[in-house]
A = this chain, B = another copy of it.
Amino acid sequence: MTAVTNPHGTTGTLPIGEFRPERGGRLPHAELRYRVFGDLALAREHGAILVFHALTGSADIDSWWEPLIGPGRALDTRRHPVIAANLLGSCYGSTGPAPVTDGSFPVLTTADLARAHIPLLQQLGVEHLALVTGGSLGGMVALQWGLVTPVPVGRLVVFAAPGRTMPQAIAWNAAQRMAIEADPAWAGGRYAPGHGPTAGLAAARAIAMITYRSQVEFGERFGRLQTRVPGRFDIEHYLRRHGDKLVARFDARTYVQLMHAMDLHDVGEYAPAGRTTARRVGEVIGVGIDTDILYFPSEVQEWVIGYAAGGARARYEEITTPYGHDAFLIEFDQVERILRG
C-alpha cells in the first residue's frame, strides 16, 4: 500500500491481492486507486463516508461532486473521512482491462465492484460507515454494498439506479457496443493501449449522452439552433464534442467492461435483498430523477418498496429537474438536501 498524505487527504494505491470475480476468472494482483478526503482518525468517532463513482468517473470526488465535499458541506470532511476508490475494472488507476490486449480480463459484476472495496476499508481501519452513496453505476454498486458490507452503515443513499437493469437500458448499452464494434480499431478489444476505437467510442458516448439528459433540457438549450455548417444543428455539435472529450480521457475496453457490469446488475428478489441489507444498514434511501429516461423513477420505487417489504427501513425521494439522469451530477442543492438527510 503506497499512500501520500497531504492537507487535502490521502491518495494511494492499495493492493487487494487475488480477486476472484463471481462469474469466473481471477485477477492475481488486483489494486485499487483510492482517495481519502479529510482525517481518517475521525472515522472512529463519527464513521467514514464511502462514495462510488459512475461509469466514467474516478476516485476524484472533488472533481465531479465538488460542491458537495469539504468542510461543512454535505460530505463534511470536518466530521467524516470521505473515501472513494476508482472502481475495479476502471482506467483511473485501479486494475482494469485497459492494458490487457488479449481479451483475458474477466467479467465483473456490480457485486464484484462492491466487494473489492472490503479490503480497502479493512486496510484503512474503518469500522463503521456513516453514509454510503453513489449514482448510476455508483448507485448500483452502493446497493450491492448493502448486501456485502462487513461494517455497519448508517445510511445508504442510492441515486438513479435500478435494483436490476431492465432491457431498454441494456439495449442502449448494446447499441453502444455495436457502435464501438463498427470501428475496426476495436478489434474485439485486442488493440494496443492508446490505439483504441476513437470514432466508435465517440459514437457510443453520443448515444449515452442522450440517455443522460432529457428532451426538455435539449429543447430549452438547443432548440433548432444551427452551427455555421449548413444543415448541422448545435445539438449534433454538442454530442460530437462530448464524444471527442471522452475519447481523450477514457479507454474503450474499460467502457465495454463496465457497461457489461451494468447489464448484469441484479440484486435478486427485492424483499430478501432488503432483509439482508437491513442487517447492517440503518436506512436505505432510493432517489429517482423525474426526467430520467435511462433508469426510470419507477424502477427506483420498485426496489424501495421491495426492500421495505423485506424489512429494511427504506424510503423513496425524487429529484425534480429538466436535466434527466445526469441530475445527480448537476442539481447539487437537491442532492445536498438528500445527502444531509
Contact = CB atoms under 8 A, between A and B. Distances in A.
A200 B181 CA distance: 8
A165 B236 CA distance: 13
A37 to B, nearest CB: 35
A315 interface: no
A167 B218 contact: yes
Interface stretch (A90-98, A258-266, A329-337): A258-266
Interface core residue of A178, A233, A243 (most chain B CB under 10 Å): A178
A157 to B, nearest CB: 25
Q: Please tell me how many copies of the chain the complex holds.
A: 2
Contacts of A218: 166-168, 171
Contacts of A209: 171
Interface stretch (A114-122, A145-153, A219-227): A219-227
Dominant secondary structure of chain A at its interface with chain B: helix
A236 B203 contact: no
A243 B178 contact: yes
A200 B174 contact: no
Contacts of A214: 168
B23 A219 contact: no
B263 A233 contact: yes
A167 B222 contact: yes
Nearest to A223: B167
Interface string A211-243: 000110011011110000011011110011001
A202 interface: yes
A305 interface: no
Interface core residue of A179, A222, A233 (most chain B CB under 10 Å): A179
A175 interface: yes
A204 to B, nearest CB: 8
B181 A203 contact: yes
Interface string A151-187: 0000000000000111110111011011111111000
A174 B236 contact: yes
Contacts of A75: none
Contacts of A202: 178, 182
Contacts of A183: 182-184
A181 B167 CA distance: 26
B224 A206 contact: no
What 9 A-B pairs are tightest by C-beta distance, nearest first? A178-B203, A168-B215, A174-B236, A182-B199, A167-B235, A167-B218, A179-B179, A167-B222, A175-B206
Interface of A: 23, 107, 164-168, 170-172, 174-175, 177-184, 197, 199-200, 202-203, 206-207, 209-210, 214-215, 218-219, 221-224, 230-231, 233-236, 239-240, 243, 260, 263-264, 266, 293, 296
20 contacts: A23-B230, A23-B231, A107-B231, A166-B218, A166-B219, A168-B210, A168-B235, A172-B210, A174-B206, A174-B233, A174-B235, A174-B236, A175-B207, A178-B202, A179-B200, A181-B199, A181-B203, A183-B184, A203-B203, A207-B207
